[in-house]
Chains A and B, each alone.
Chain A
Amino acid sequence: MRALIVDDSRAMRRIVGRILGDAGFEVLEAGDGQQALDLLEGLDGPPELACVDWNMPVMDGLTFITEVRNRPQWRAITLMMVTTESESDRIVRALAAGAHEYLIKPFTGEAMLEKLDLLGLLPTSTGV
């Protein structure tokens, strides 16, 4: 399985990448929403998962999620917002835009794996 990490912080991409890599994902990275769209356009097939920060330069995560949801060829991508935005109205907006899950920074590796398990994206997942 492949996972795309969209975050303007190289450190955060590295942390999330390590968690996902240990969980068996091939990891792709982009530094903002536009870079991520460009990367997706060049792939032969969409990744199973995208972990998306909210606040980024050029194109923010909410816009990226909206763009992905508007393209039928990327409908199979599971979208997880990973962000410092913790207010309930932000969570509602992200889910309404098409995010499947929402993880607030700071988070632990265990918390991210629990989300992935709920989404049925771990080898041992039973899903929901």
Chain B
Amino acid sequence: MTISSAPDQALVLAAIEQVWGSMLFASAEAWPAERAADFGSGVQAHIELRGDWNGRLVLTCDSDVATQIAGAMLGLGPDEELPELDVHDAVGEVLNVVGGSVKGALIGTWALGLPDVSETSEAPSRDDSFVVSWGDAPVYVQILPDAA
């Protein structure tokens, strides 16, 4: 499927479902709007998308979730630990692949930036994000246009 407009939630969700399944061997489902999405401190990955629409995709999750995602990606056992740098790198690469899948579904010429990952202590507002599941935990996803 290809579309000519800015990436929408359904397209990004489809990319996440594909990446969760193929890279992380897990399923992703939309988080019910009425369900609380608790969040402590965590990591936030950004990647820019440039083309007919300019903005960025942002993925935010709890630190424990980030560690689990990195472990799933690398096939680690439950007792194997990763340095924080490697956890950030893995989450950034997951978003990079999601961004690539989204870009590939858009009509026209688009460019994807390099992922950037930082720590955060605040969950995004539910008003400008949607939430997908990682097991029983929330992962926030934002599609943010450049500021006017």
A86 in contact with B86 given A15-B73, A106-B18 (CB within 8 Å): no
- Inter-chain contact A84/B100, CB cutoff 8 Å: yes
Within 8 Å of chain B (Cβ to Cβ): is A55?
A: yes
From DSSP, what is the main secondary structure of chain A's interface residues? Answer: loop
Q: With the chains together, A85 CA to B92 CA distance in Å?
A: 16
Whole-angstrom distance from the CB of B69 to the nearest CB of chain A? 10
Residue interface bits A78-117, CB-to-B below 8 A is 1, else 0: 0000011111000000000000000011111000000000
Q: With the chains together, A52 CA to B108 CA distance in Å?
A: 25
Within 8 Å of chain B (Cβ to Cβ): is A43?
A: no
* 8 A Cβ contacts from A10-35 to B: 10-12, 14-15, 18
Contacts of B75 in A (CB 8 A): 18
Within 8 Å of chain A (Cβ to Cβ): is B144?
A: no
Q: With the chains together, A18 CA to B100 CA distance in Å?
A: 23
Contacts of A55 in B (CB 8 A): 96, 112-114
Within 8 Å of chain A (Cβ to Cβ): is B19?
A: yes
- Inter-chain contact A11/B70, CB cutoff 8 Å: yes
Closest-by-CB residue of B relative to A86 is B104
Q: With the chains together, A10 CA to B93 CA distance in Å?
A: 9
Size of the chain B interface, CB-CB below 8 angstroms: 24
Q: With the chains together, A65 CA to B118 CA distance in Å?
A: 31
A10 in contact with B104 given A106-B18, A106-B22 (CB within 8 Å): no
Residue interface bits B68-112, CB-to-A below 8 A is 1, else 0: 001001110000000001100110110011011101100000001
- Inter-chain contact A84/B96, CB cutoff 8 Å: yes
Contacts of A10 in B (CB 8 A): 85-86, 89
Q: Which 9 A-B pairs have the closest CB atoms?
A: A84-B100, A86-B104, A11-B90, A106-B22, A9-B93, A106-B23, A10-B89, A105-B97, A11-B93
**Chain A positions near chain B (C-beta within 8 angstroms):** 8-12, 14-15, 18, 55-57, 83-87, 104-108
Extra pairs beyond A11-B89, A57-B114, A84-B97 (15, CB < 8 Å):
A9-B90, A9-B92, A11-B70, A12-B93, A18-B75, A55-B96, A84-B99, A84-B101, A84-B112, A86-B100, A87-B103, A87-B104, A105-B100, A106-B18, A106-B97
**Chain B positions near chain A (C-beta within 8 angstroms):** 18-19, 22-23, 70, 73-75, 85-86, 89-90, 92-93, 96-97, 99-101, 103-104, 112-114
